[in-house]
A and B are shown apart, each in its own frame.
Chain A
Amino acid sequence: MTAALPVAARLQRLSRTSHVVGLAVLALAGVGAYVANQQFLRSYLVAFLFWLGLGLGSLALLMLHHLVGGRWGKATAPILAAAARTLPLLALLFVPIAVGLRQLYVWATPIVPETHHAPVHHEVYLSPAGFLTRAALYFVVWIALAALVTRLGAAVAATGDLRRARWLARVSAAGLALYVLSMSFAAFDWGMSLDPQWYSTIYGLLFIVGQGLSGLALVIVALYLLAGEAAFELADRFHDLGNLLMAFVMLWAYISFSQLIIIWSGNLPEEIPWYLHRFNHGWEVVGLILVVLHFAVPFSVLLARRIKRRGRRLAAVALFVLLMRQVDLYWIIAPVFQADAVRLHWLDPALMCGLGGLWLAVFSRALARTWSVPPPRGGNAGRHRPR
């Protein structure tokens, strides 16, 4: 049984395996890039946004923990920190999007279609130069934040230094504000501008909440897998994480529904096409799947204490949520390219796996360096009956 190996060694092995698998799948997908250039980029964008969500969501949760504290964060901070350290890799993975800009974004194509009459502002804002400059800026901010927060966090954990702890809280407060702002604009650039006519002020939050949900689900799965035998003793931690997961599932539903009902009720010609594309030609089935499987089912299941307190069951729910995150991003992005039908291309799963392999390799190697099993009940004797 693998549990016999020390955790660090298991993580190193996972890192090597996923590295090899990721590269192999990506090489295969590279063939696809020649055969179907445009499809490659479209599939790539969805996969990239999903894995970016894991890294950024973890960074945001880490900062949130350093700001407000909480037992859930103590147990999971090393996992969050390791995931935040994947951001340099994600910056690297952005390169194909930067290179394929003209195939991906209609506003970047040299010949603007007749139907597209762009507002004047787009010449300034939605220009390849502006787009790339901003992307560079986002990554600089994120990578700097991740480096600062993980390093300070490690120092505080090691020394318990109060002054540095206060600094960490301050950096995290400012960092969260910066993250929300930069991610909103990143969402506008990378997702919303696929249809340059369309706009929605809540779009940034849709991504931010989705990333928080992804990060949380990742942490639950990772904590369960790493804790091994100790998973039983972590029931309280899992319970807290389960409650948070439920809160984020509800928040996701809330943000998504808010956008829907406002645009649906207004029914304005510049806004409603977004939903018309997603409510027809088979996309409504994907939408229904999201309502049921991204919201209703996880929500109902997470109402039960019995599920939240058992690492194994909770991890299963979290894994399922991660799958749904991919479906959600697919539903948000893909209809722009193929409103007439839902056509899953082989490159969609291939790139999801390929990028995932590389991401997991970096993540698990970072984690192998820092991981130690958290104490089951650090100073919280006499726990009250939980919800």
Chain B
Amino acid sequence: MATPSTPPTYGLAASFSSPDDLVRVVRLARAAGYRQMDAYTPMPVHGLAEALDLPPSRLPWGVLGGGITGMLVGIGLQSYTTIVLYPMNVGGRPLFSWPSFVPVTFELTILCAALVAVGGMIWRNGLPEPHHPIFNAPGFERASTDRFFLCIEATDPRFDAAATRRFLETAGAEEVQDVAR
């Protein structure tokens, strides 16, 4: 039950054997006004994020928040248990032995920050995502070895099966194929 808003294909995938070609075509596509697109590469390609104009990740802020939370939990846990819940004189040290509390506070800071970094990355990337239409692109299994793909999605307002295909071919794509939904 295809409605006009859900086109029959997911998009058009152009493939390249060199990351430099990919970056060049991505720039051209941006210049031509395409916005709904993504590139698929076997490794991080420098310059690609800039070419796609991806906003800087907000992950660092999350990690900072995680770190601060961990630090506060560390200080709170140790102070509360040592001063209130289980006060004990150890070698005449004060109940609030702040130098002794530094190591555990530090470890909890790092732990919480690292958990946010990993969890945040996986969550914001929408993983795990066992299936995605791009896997329908013919030959896509080489996107994890030595092929570089650019997929202009059908949801892009400027997308037109024939015109976009022509654009990609003239821009220098080695192969352009339909991606089934």
Contact = CB atoms under 8 A, between A and B. Distances in A.
Interface in B51-99: 64, 91-92, 99
Contacts of A382: 46-47
A261 B46 contact: no
Contact of B102 (A257, A267, A303, A384): A257
A122 B49 CA distance: 65
Nearest to A267: B91
Contacts of A264: 99
Contacts of B49: 385
Contacts of B92: 267
Contacts of A267: 91-92
A2 interface: no
B100 interface: yes
Contact of B99 (A260, A303, A384, A385): A260
Interface in A212-271: 257, 260-261, 264-265, 267
A265 B99 contact: yes
Chain B contact residues, majority secondary structure: helix
Contacts of B102: 257, 261
A382 B47 CA distance: 7
Chain A CB count within 10 A is highest, among B47, B64, B99, B102, for: B99
Given A261-B100, A264-B99, A384 B46 contact: yes
A3 B71 CA distance: 46
Interface string B9-52: 00000000000000000000000000000000000001101100
Contacts of A261: 99-100, 102
Nearest to A262: B99
B119 to A, nearest CB: 20
A267 B91 CA distance: 9
Contact of A265 (B50, B64, B100): B100
Nearest to A300: B64
A257 B99 CA distance: 8
Nearest to A275: B99
Nearest to B56: A385
Interface string A347-387: 00000000000000000000000000000000000101100
Nearest to B49: A385
B91 to A, nearest CB: 7
Nearest to A260: B99
B89 to A, nearest CB: 14
Nearest to A387: B60
A324 to B, nearest CB: 20
Interface in A277-311: 303
Interface in B94-129: 99-100, 102
Nearest to B20: A382
A292 to B, nearest CB: 14
Contacts of B46: 382, 384-385
A379 B91 CA distance: 60
A183 B58 CA distance: 44
A145 to B, nearest CB: 37
Contacts of B100: 261, 265
18 contacts: A257-B99, A257-B102, A260-B99, A261-B99, A261-B100, A261-B102, A264-B99, A265-B99, A265-B100, A267-B91, A267-B92, A303-B64, A382-B46, A382-B47, A384-B46, A385-B46, A385-B49, A385-B50
- A-B pairs, top 4 by smallest CB distance, nearest first, are A261-B99, A384-B46, A264-B99, A382-B46
Interface of A: 257, 260-261, 264-265, 267, 303, 382, 384-385
Interface of B: 46-47, 49-50, 64, 91-92, 99-100, 102
